[in-house]
Structure 1
Amino acid sequence: MDHFLYRDGALYAEDVPLAEIAAAVGTPFYCYSTATLTRHFKAFDEALAGMDHMICYAMKAASNQAILRLMASLGAGMDVVSGGEYARAKAAGVPGDRIVFSGVGKTRDEMRMALSGGVRQFNLESEPEMEVLNAVALEMGVVAPVTVRVNPDVDAKTHAKIATGKSENKFGIPITRAREVYARIAEMPGLKAVGIDVHIGSQLTDLEPYRQAFTKVAELTEALRADGHDIIRLDLGGGLGIPYERNNTAPPLPKEYGAMVQEILGHTGCEIEIEPGRLIAGNAGVMVSEVIYVKQGEGRDFLIIDGAMNDLIRPAMYDAHHDIVPVVEPAPGAEQQPYDIVGPVCESGDTFAKQRMMVPLAAGDLVAFRSAGAYGAVMSSEYNTRPLIPEVLVHGDQFAVIRKRPSFEEIINRDTLPEWM
């Protein structure tokens, strides 16, 4: 469920018409719903009720300071994958002991940053990283809390570019070598193993891959404890999918996921950490764009809009589907026709949909891309010197710009000329 609904013939974000925001800030723009973000976080929190748990929001999905502060106010920790994300989390007021540091390529500087500012744990991805973190911790005179990300060789049955749990993926250490790796950690004075980490992919629509992976983690927990390791946390990653297409079968609900976690891992007594991102932010945001031209082509019509692949790259990168709806509600039973919906960037890949059935639209009409709250604004760029588009947060009948659109001058003035020019 989200809070982007038609009311009195217009599409609203909570109690604010999207057309009103468009008139105030221009198009294109991202719009997020506070009520939806809050609802989705609470759905996960309630799903794990009865188990010792922490929900660490995967801020790579949407990392605006306003969203992070909202998540923190609800009790979320943060899952970060870079020094920049760590700095964002701290700036949003999240204490270090609620920040989990993930990612396959942590640098020495990033390790120092987190050890200085506080960190709940590092999720280690490789043995070389383990050795470097040990050395950095010893240099600083501290002990780094760690988990090892194990690769369970489980097919998540998701898009190849967002699957992370197969043996051929770059992520984690083979689960078959986990006992050997934990034995090495026990010999490193700069590291303290506190748990196990696993994450098999994103946009999962079936619980069975989770069941397979978590069963292996439960077995590994018992084996590591038998080896003398104090395993107190299980970081289960994120990845639960969202319904990008309204007419398709909905992915499992958080409560179904929580029941499965309780069934498979409840007996371990471990604190459960999960790192949802897409499920919290995805359907909590839309991108609104204006039709510039309706172009008649050879055998097809094009809607050319002012949003482009640099603003929302998921369709170009993943062939991702987003429902695209007019901001003015169509009449019941209104006739539809197929359009190719494209942006103004000089790339054939700047295509959002092909032969998408839509009611007839004209220049100046507004459309909304649903389910754009995750991996939308955070993956945007200024390709073609197109300014990053505004982000807007709605709260009831109020809205605020939480990232403004930069001017061309601001973009150009970031460049510096060498002295010889």
Structure 2
Amino acid sequence: MQKMPTPLREQLAEFSASQQVPFFVYDLDGLSKHIASLASDEIKLWFAVKANPLSRVIQTLDKQGMNFDVASTGELEQVLAQGIGSDRILNTGPAKSRQQLSHFLQRGVNTFVVESVNQLALLNELSQSHNKRPQVLLRVQLRFEQGDDNPLGGNSLTPFGLGAQEWSEICLADYPEVDVVGLHIFQWGNMLDADKLISLWQAMIAPLTALAQALDFELKVLDLGGGLGIPYHESEQQLLWPYLAGALSEIKRQAKVNELWLELGRFAVGEYGYYVSEVIDRKTNYEQELLVLQGGINHLLRPAITDQPFPVSLLRDSAESAQSFHIHGPLCTSLDKLGELPLPKDVSVGDQLVFAQCGAYGFTEAMPFFLCHELPAEVVFSQGRFEVVRQAQPASSYLC
């Protein structure tokens, strides 16, 4: 698990003492080095903007040559607003309306992942009216002997793509205004077992190449989506990129494709973000220790969805031994729990806690409007200094 560098922690403690909490902070210096370490001539990398659409995060990735996977008009406009060309944008997502597809074509986007026959027909129609011929990847949903629960569905029926049998029943000649160049598959998220992930990728080669043959098109691009995880507990293993990159190069060779794509979200940015919140109350109830924080799942929803907390620490030095605390937020629901986690025994009201691994699926995945609390600030750490990118906003900023 990525540890917060000691100099950053010391500076954060000093900064947060004068900063209104809660807030998110992103280590752009660390993020930039991490993305640079992923560079590969064998793999084309896309950033899944859903993981963190903050402008400064996008700008940092842009400087390292990352491309961008967007799934909505809002994400598209956010990426374009950073000066990124539409030729580096890929449109994904299960729901693509006529209005959205038309907007993407007007804005110059030329690469689409298509998730259904209806989407393919609609994109074909709109491409003709816009005098475009975009390149298309068909999203495929396969079934494997893999029974783990997973946020992307795994083997479950999901809105993502179609099965190989369903796709094989179409005739690509019926869609002459689009150029089908590849296949896309992405069914598992936050995978930490490298060998299992590689075995899944390898198992995809035969059915996907067979589908391309059945549809009679040259499989130029294979997009394996993302799914690369980061640990949220010290007992969890860390994926090693060089090992995965070597396996991906072999998969590219076996599939005989010109390009192999990955869409990284959590693996790209997750370990370079933190969330700081203040302890509002401490109490003992039924012989259990509880902490109530100023912010909870209104800022960090993931623990309520996955039952897996973000790791937490006290943002000051303490010589006390650790004990278990039930950590809750301010919302009037028992769902507002950030986990049962160890902290020093002397944690008290007014202390600040820092949650790690919050660079992905933090604020924009949360439920910030419930109970009309303030929206948290977002801060970046760049070139050794902190900068507030967005100030905390009161409920009056979004209530009518």
TM-score category of the 2 structures, normalised to the smaller one: over 0.9
In structure 1, stretches of 5+ residues that fail to align are 416-421
Map 1:290-329 onto structure 2 (within 5 A): 290-329=278-317
**Aligned: 1:180 with 2:169:** yes
Answer whether contact 1:155 1:209 (CA < 8 A) is retained.
no
- Following superposition, the deviation at residue 210 of structure 1 comes to 4.1
Q: RMSD of the alignment, in Å? A: 2.1
Aligned residues: 397
What amino acid does structure 2 have at the position aligned with 1:87?
E
What amino acid does structure 2 have at the position aligned with 1:169?
T
Distance 1:139 1:288, change over 3 A: same
- Spell out, residue by residue over 1:215-257, the C-alpha distance to the aligned partner (whole angstroms, 9 max, x if none): 42355336625864132211111110101112x1313212221
**Aligned: 1:62 with 2:48:** no
- Spell out, residue by residue over 1:154-183, the C-alpha distance to the aligned partner (whole angstroms, 9 max, x if none): 3666543x13342522211112344434xx
**Aligned: 1:81 with 2:68:** no
Aligned partners of 1:375, 1:167: CA distance in 2, in Å?
22
What amino acid does structure 2 have at the position aligned with 1:125?
E
The answer to which of 396-405 and 103-112 deviates more is 396-405
- SS of the residue corresponding to residue 25 of structure 1 reads coil
Map 1:20-99 onto structure 2 (within 5 A): 20-45=14-39, 49-51=40-42, 53-99=43-89
**Aligned: 1:139 with 2:129:** yes
> Partner of 1:365 in structure 2?
351
Aligned partners of 1:224, 1:297: CA distance in 2, in Å?
61
What amino acid does structure 1 have at the position aligned with 2:307?
D
- SS of the residue corresponding to residue 259 of structure 1 reads helix
What amino acid does structure 1 have at the position aligned with 2:126?
V
Aligned partners of 1:167, 1:3: CA distance in 2, in Å?
35
**Aligned: 1:390 with 2:377:** yes
> Partner of 1:399 in structure 2?
386
Answer whether contact 2:172 2:215 (CA < 8 A) is retained.
no
Answer whether contact 1:323 1:370 (CA < 8 A) is retained.
yes
Picking from 271, 278, 286, the partner of 1:283 is 271
What amino acid does structure 2 have at the position aligned with 1:62?
N
**Aligned: 1:250 with 2:250:** no
- Spell out, residue by residue over 1:160-210, the C-alpha distance to the aligned partner (whole angstroms, 9 max, x if none): 3x13342522211112344434xx233212211011111122101123244
- Following superposition, the deviation at residue 41 of structure 1 comes to 1.6
Answer whether contact 2:376 2:392 (CA < 8 A) is retained.
yes
Aligned partners of 1:345, 1:197: CA distance in 2, in Å?
39
Distance 1:218 1:359, change over 3 A: farther
Map 1:117-156 onto structure 2 (within 5 A): 117-154=107-144
What amino acid does structure 2 have at the position aligned with 1:27?
V
The answer to which of 282-291 and 292-301 deviates more is 292-301
| TM-score, normalising length: structure 1 | 0.88
Distance 1:157 1:61, change over 3 A: farther
> Partner of 1:418 in structure 2?
none
What amino acid does structure 1 have at the position aligned with 2:53?
S
| TM-score, normalising length: structure 2 | 0.92
Distance 1:354 1:365, change over 3 A: same
- Spell out, residue by residue over 1:292-341, the C-alpha distance to the aligned partner (whole angstroms, 9 max, x if none): 1211222112111111211111111221221110111333xx32222111
The answer to which of 216-225 and 393-402 deviates more is 216-225
Answer whether contact 2:308 2:339 (CA < 8 A) is retained.
no
Aligned partners of 2:46, 2:252: CA distance in 1, in Å?
18
What amino acid does structure 2 have at the position aligned with 1:376?
G
What amino acid does structure 2 have at the position aligned with 1:173?
L
What amino acid does structure 2 have at the position aligned with 1:273?
W
**Aligned: 1:238 with 2:226:** yes
- Spell out, residue by residue over 1:365-390, the C-alpha distance to the aligned partner (whole angstroms, 9 max, x if none): 11111111110011132211112101
Answer whether contact 2:110 2:133 (CA < 8 A) is retained.
no
Aligned partners of 2:343, 2:318: CA distance in 1, in Å?
13
**Aligned: 1:164 with 2:153:** yes
